[in-house]
Amino acid sequence: MRTCRRGAWLVVILALTGACLKRVERVSTPAAKRKALTASREQLMELVNRRYSVVRSIKYGRLGIQMEGFYLETEKKESYPKGSGYMVVQRPHWILMNINNPLTHSTVAAMAANGRIFQVFVPRENKYVTGSVDVEFEGKDPVYNIRPQHVVEAVFVQPLQDPRERSFFVNEDSDAVFSYYVISEFESTSSQPRLLRRLWIERSDLRLVRQQWYGTNGELISDAGYPSEVEMDGLRVFLELSLVRPTDRYRLRFTFAPDAIKVNEPIEESAFAVRKPPGAELVEVKAKTKP
């Protein structure tokens, strides 16, 4: 009998104590999370391939651009003034970009790549930099680590290939505001699958908001974010692009004027070139020889 009474009193004490300590709060769920849609892996792959990967060419008649360089030795960041300009890109690997000083309208840098070589002319330095797009080179100044092909890779979304050549894994993720589907693309032809790319799809309207590319050792090579986009003829075109290249130590931020965008117009391949001006210093970027 005493044991039963003690047990009853213990229940009452715990209940009263809990009532005193417990605090009830109203938690608001962000609107984007409340509106999160559901999609299968097949539906997500079709979304990427049909809405984003069929864009063949884009002419950005007016853009804004800002650059930041990172100096690991001094742990400092250097920001460059915001510029303006235009850019033309065409699959699979062609690009021509001209960056102007917004005040003087003079060229700050002109860049091009055609899948084999890249060309960069910096009038302020009177330097014409060129080399193979496959060469990995790390200069002391992050400005000279910028490669036009890095921008091509970020602007265009490569299709998710045949599952016989690639394997895909889809998982859910979230932050304080949004819920995501994350598609991880692996190389499946080797004995050990290797992560190649991750695509982040925001679930409230099933929109691609981020792409990440990885190296042979799993290191993050490139990270592209897409804060906004516009639909043109059923295709998705990005209006903003944030590109971070950790190993190259730079970040680029683009904004594109929607009224100055033309999609899928034919462009001659010969247009994707920057000619070396007379008297400009030629800098040929070559692969470093191993000791």
Per-residue pLDDT in tens (0 to 9) along the chain, 291 residues? 555 566 666 656 556 555 556 678 877 888 999 999 999 999 999 999 999 999 999 999 999 999 888 876 667 788 878 889 999 999 999 999 999 987 888 898 899 999 899 999 989 889 999 999 887 665 667 776 788 899 999 999 999 977 677 889 999 999 999 999 999 999 876 678 889 999 999 999 999 999 999 998 899 999 999 999 999 888 899 999 999 999 888 899 999 999 999 999 989 988 999 999 999 999 998 765 443
Q: How far apart are CA 217 and CA 194, in angstroms?
A: 8
DSSP H or E stretch at residue 209: strand 207-214
Give the predicted TM-score (pTM) of the model: 0.84
pLDDT of residue 17: 59
pLDDT of residue 110: 93
75: left (phi over 0), alpha (psi -120 to 50) or beta: left
pLDDT of residue 2: 54
Q: How far apart are CA 61 and CA 124, in angstroms?
A: 24
Residues 6+ apart with CB under 8 A from 188: 163, 164, 165, 166, 167
Distances (CA, A) of 175 to 180, 204, 211: 8, 13, 16
Q: How far apart are CA 237 and CA 229, in angstroms?
A: 5
pLDDT of residue 142: 72
Domain regions of the chain by residue span: 34-285
The fold of the 34-285 domain, in CATH, is: outer membrane lipoprotein receptor (LolB), chain A (2.50.20)
Q: How crowded is residue 133: how many other Cβ atoms within 10 Å of its Cβ? A: 16
Asked if 51 and 263 touch (Cβ cutoff 8 Å), the reply is no
pLDDT of residue 289: 45
Instruction: Locate 108 and state its tokens.
Output: 């700050």
